[in-house]
Amino acid sequence: MHASKSGIAQTTAILTIVIIVLAIVAGIGWSGIVTSTSKTPSTLTTTQYQDLVALAKSEGTVTIYGQVDTAAWNQYITAAFEQAYPWAHVVYQTGTSGDNLNKELAEAKSGAVHSDVIEQLQTNFIALENASAIQAWYNPVEVMMGYPSSLLDPTNYTHPFDLNQYFLIYNTNLIKNTSVLPKSWTDLANPIWKGKLAIDDPSRMSATGGAFAILRQNMTQSQWTTFLQGVAANQPYIASSSGAVYDDVSSGQAAIGIGATTDVVSGLSKGAPIGYVWMNPTPILATPVGISKGAPDPYMAELFIEWVTSWAGQYAIGASSRPPTFGPAAQATSLALLTTPLPASYTQVQFSNIVAHNSSLYVSTYTQIFGK
Amino acid sequence: MTTKVPIAVSAIFAVLFIAPLLYFFGTSTSLNQILVALRSPIYIDAIWTTIYPAAAGTAIALAMGTIYAWIVQRTNVPYKRVLSLLPFLGLTQPGEVRAIGLVFLFSPQIGSINRLFMNMFSVSFPLFNIYSNNGLIFAHSIGGLPFAYLSMSAAIRGIDPILEDSSRLTGGSVTTSLFRVTLPLLKPALIGTYLAMIPIGMANFDYPFIFGQAASSGVNTLATAIYDAITDTSPPDYNTAGALSIIYVLIAIVVVTLFIYATRQNFKYVTVRGNQAPPTVYSLGRLGKYGALAICLWISFISFFLEAFILLLVSFVPFYTATESLIPHLTLQNYVVLFTGYPLFWSAVENSLFVSLVAGSATAILGTFLAYTVVKSKFRWAKLFEYANILPYAIPGVVYGLAMLWLFLYTPALARTLYGTVWALLIALIITWLPFAVRIMAPSMLQLSSELEEASCVSGDRWSGTYLKVLLPMMKVAMLASFTYVFLDTFRELGTVTLLTTPSSYVLTTFIQDLFTASSADLPTAAATSVFMMVVGGIFLVIASKLLGVDLLRREGSVLAPVPTQGEVPIPVQPSKDTA
């Protein structure tokens, strides 16, 4: 019996409608799993997680550009992730924050993106966001873990990784009487520290640039400029990074400096003659992670970030001597070596929020005064 | 004589030298930005700090290198084979590590030499402050010694001894012959080497980067200013970096123009001919030869051994400090961890050796073509290659590295095939170091008389045959010297490779940089890696010297210059028509 023309047309119409509906549903579901930027319930259901794992497994490899040294990353972070997911392979590429930023921007511009995950300074993520080199993605794990909202990115471009606190460091062989040490950041302008102070280049907007920017919030422009000129008059060693500042202080090149908890924790474990003093306010700088736009392995990127923001990932970061963003993990690992904890009354200020969109104002002042 | 092959090869590489930079300059900056930079007091000061220490340091390096080369090549100083290796030991260390080593010696606060001086003489001022322009001059002088020695060795070895013998025969002393015959004959090589070295010194980044950290030093060069613009600014300030890089190029063009002008009468200095006699070796007497030995050892000590020793010491401690004795902290742990605890270390060793061997070989062969085009060919635009040749080493490595990164990423075919592989690294290194090979071989090429080629041509051979049978054998020593130099320099190169390195193309210099950026910047392990590189480089030098040394011994003359037999007269130098 031949099908009538009207029957064929009817069947075709029904099939077409079904396909369209399925496509719409699949599209909603797809974006819900992969690229949803809207808030979803703060629970990660097993079904969603298993979907992500299955999709990630089809990719298998995640490529990460970061600044953590390769040995520490491979020994602690890669090892822990690959233990959790034995089928996964991590390709980690290290570099300085500046070198990596140049590479990330160039890859994004050319469309030949090789990285899946980027670990960068918070301040550099602004440049990456402006260049459309990273993509927003909602990470349910960071909500489940209960990170403080002040440490989360409301736009979902970046996700917690590690967090450095900066304090005053000093050489314990050069300074025996700790009562002479600065009590506040403004004491760095005291002429007694002439030729004895090490700071990282303020125009990099890292430890020193950030600490000075925080002070500006409670000073007039004139007061702030006078303070900066006082520090410059002390002819400090201007290092390329807080790690280099640590080197200057531990070697005895400088007696005091502005250093990072990461370096001090690592140095103390080796028996270096280094001491530290917490200052109020305490500058903090997050080094978050984000997903590259156009990442070759986006599901692996998401799986990795979900893992690294979980307790297991944060603990692995802490085991590598870097302070993870998640406070309890930090206290249990890297910060345990600091016998004098940060006083509870001290204010922690994430200076990247201060300088976020007008860093050029600070940079031009620093360049003018410090000549760098 | 048809010379299409060398000209074609030269043209290809001229394009490869220029293209990345043209793209970089074209997209990153503007004339207005250049004028802004030239009006900035900070950058004006940086220009001066770039030129003056490089020029002064290079002059000192050239003087040391020439004295050293003359002693080794032309006197009966003992232990020649060992002495001929020592100037190259400085090439076995990465620049940044060398700079840190100098800080450990001459920092006013933590420098070992200064602390020894202050304690011995009970004074509060240091003997020498490395954080100064004088420190930069000192670093340039010891850093430039290998290139100066290499260039002048080849030139001294190439002098026809008949001219010096004639001077002796007419009653001239060793000193008279040196100042009235040898040095004038070396004039183009001296000028050429000096002018070739100045851009290298100006483009150096490692020394001003480390020494400029003391605010009182005043050491801020164009290289560090460019580095700040590219890597210390967010987003990177390509406008400023491009403007400052163009200033670099302009300065280098001026230097090369001076070079071309100074060597335009080069035909008068041709001395290597078909009937070359062994070079004269002067007897200095017992006292004199050990005095000459002491001079060479002193130069080697201050240019390498002093700083190598401090790095060796640092490699045996868990952390470096000058505020307590290091002796109780001595340990082998850094080496144990390096050899057993870093899986990437051995793949970095493998990649470094592979890349350096291939780059050294490729540049030695390709360099003969470019050197021939520039020095010997009648090609009307040959002098343009002279300018193209300077670009890769007249620009700081960080700029060239960024330009190469953009070249690989923005050329779709290259982005798909080469980017992220060791071949990208290799191509970048060959392009960067080929001009050095040309610089090393050009003086030797300059001294080859056209009679040799003309004789081959008259015999019916084509240029390719002349190249293989006449030119290459005559250039063998220079090629080996070039291979040695480029191998060692690519082994320790960082600026060009840092942006192109991937986990699969990890090399030792990026491994060391990794250690510097680690928590509490693992200086002792970086020092241990540097010591390892020194050992590998030293072994390579010994092997290379055996290849170079065989030729040296065959051409070694008698202690006293032979008296010509009747009928033999020195061949007068005739102007050659084949040079501009």
- Average confidence score pLDDT of chain B: 81
Residue-by-residue DSSP string for B30-78:
-HHHHHHHHH-HHHHHHHHHHHHHHHHHHHHHHHHHHHHHHHHHHB--S
Contact of B522 with chain A, judged by CB distance below 8 Å, is answered with yes
Angle subtended by helix axes B145-157 and B133-143, to nearest 10: 40
Share of chain B above pLDDT 70, in %: 88
Under 8 Å CB pairs connecting chains A and B tally to 183
Question: What is the model's pLDDT at position A28?
Answer: 36
Q: pLDDT at position B546, please?
A: 79
Question: What's the pLDDT at A42?
Answer: 42
What digits encode the pLDDT tens for the residues A229-239? 999 999 999 88
A292-302 burial, b at 16+ Cβ within 10 Å, e below that, comes to bbbbbbbbbbb
pLDDT at residue B555 in the model: 40
**Residue B496: pLDDT band with limits 50, 70, 90:** confident
Determine how many CB atoms are found less than 10 A away from the CB of residue B553. 11
Q: Give the pLDDT of residue B229.
A: 87
More confident residue, A341 or B578: A341
- CA-based nearest distance A310→chain B, Å: 23
Task: Determine what percent of chain A is predicted with pLDDT higher than 90.
Answer: 51
Q: What mean pLDDT comes out for the span B320-337?
A: 84
Please give the pLDDT value at position A233.
Answer: 94
Report strand pairing: A159-171 vs A282-292: antiparallel
Closest Cα in chain A, distance from residue B212 (Å): 8
Tokens 């002693």 sit on residue: B71
Interface list for B 113-172 with A (CB within 8 A): none
* Confidence (pLDDT) at A60: 95
Among the CATH numbers 3.40.190.10, 3.40.50.1000, 3.20.20.80, 1.10.10.10, which is that of A164-285+340-370?
3.40.190.10
Please name the member of B42, B513, B521 whose beta carbon is closest to the beta carbon of A244: B521
Confidence of residue B145 (pLDDT cuts 50, 70, 90): very high
Q: Is the pLDDT of residue B560 over 50?
A: no
User: In Å, how far are A117, B263, B326, B478 from B260, measured between CA atoms?
Assistant: 51, 5, 52, 21
Which residues does chain A have within 8 Å of residue B415's beta carbon, measured at their own beta carbons?
110, 112
Structure confidence by residue, pLDDT tens digits, B223-253: 888 888 888 777 888 888 888 888 888 888 8
What pLDDT, on a 0 to 100 scale, did the predictor assign at position B266? 54
Cβ atoms of B492 and B94 closer than 8 Å? yes
Whether B388 shows a pLDDT value over 90: the answer reads no
Rounded average pLDDT over B367-372 = 87
CATH 3.40.190.10 fits A43-163+286-331, yes or no: yes
pLDDT given at position A147: 93
In angstroms, the CA B47 to CA B50 distance is 5
How far is the alpha carbon of A322 from chain B, nearest alpha carbon, in Å?
A: 8
Q: Are A342 and A348 in contact (CB under 8 A)?
A: yes
By Cβ distance, the residue of A70, A173, A239 closest to B514 is A70
Name the superfamily (CATH) of residues B4-273+283-554: MetI-like (1.10.3720.10)
* A159-171 and A237-239 strand pairing: unpaired
The pTM score is 0.82
- Chain A positions touching B234 (Cβ under 8 A) are 101, 121, 123-124, 126-127, 205, 359
- Tens of pLDDT, residues B61-112: 999 999 999 999 889 999 988 898 899 898 888 888 899 899 999 998 889 9
Q: Residues of A with CB below 8 A from B231's CB?
A: 96-99, 101-102
Give the pLDDT confidence of A179-221 residue by residue, as tens digits.
999 999 999 999 999 999 999 988 888 889 888 988 888 889 9
- Domain spans of chain B? 4-273+283-554
Domain with CATH 3.40.190.10 in chain A: 43-163+286-331, 164-285+340-370
Residues of B in contact with A271 (CB under 8 A): 318-319, 329
Q: Which residue of B has its CA nearest to A196?
A: B109
Q: Chain A within 8 Å of B342 (Cβ-Cβ)?
A: yes
* pLDDT of amino acid A56: 95
State the complex-level ipTM: 0.81
Q: How confident is the model at residue A54 (pLDDT cuts 50, 70, 90)?
A: very high
Angle between the N-to-C axes of helices B238-262 and B41-74, in degrees from 0 to 180, rounded to the nearest 10: 40
Closest Cα in chain A, distance from residue B351 (Å): 16
CB distance A363–B231 less than 8 Å?
A: no
* Res. B572: pLDDT tops 70: no
Q: Give the Cα separation of A277 and A182 in Å (integer).
A: 9
Is B318 part of the contact surface with chain A (CB cutoff 8 Å)? Answer: yes
| B window 233-262, beta carbon within 8 A of A | 233-236
Residue of B nearest to A270 (CA): B318
**By CA distance, what is A173's nearest residue in B?**
B323
Minimal CA–CA distance to A67: which of A156, A186, A164?
A: A164
**Nearest CB to A270 within list B234, B319, B405:** B319
Among candidates A232, A236, A273 on the partner chain, residue whose Cβ is nearest the Cβ of B321: A273
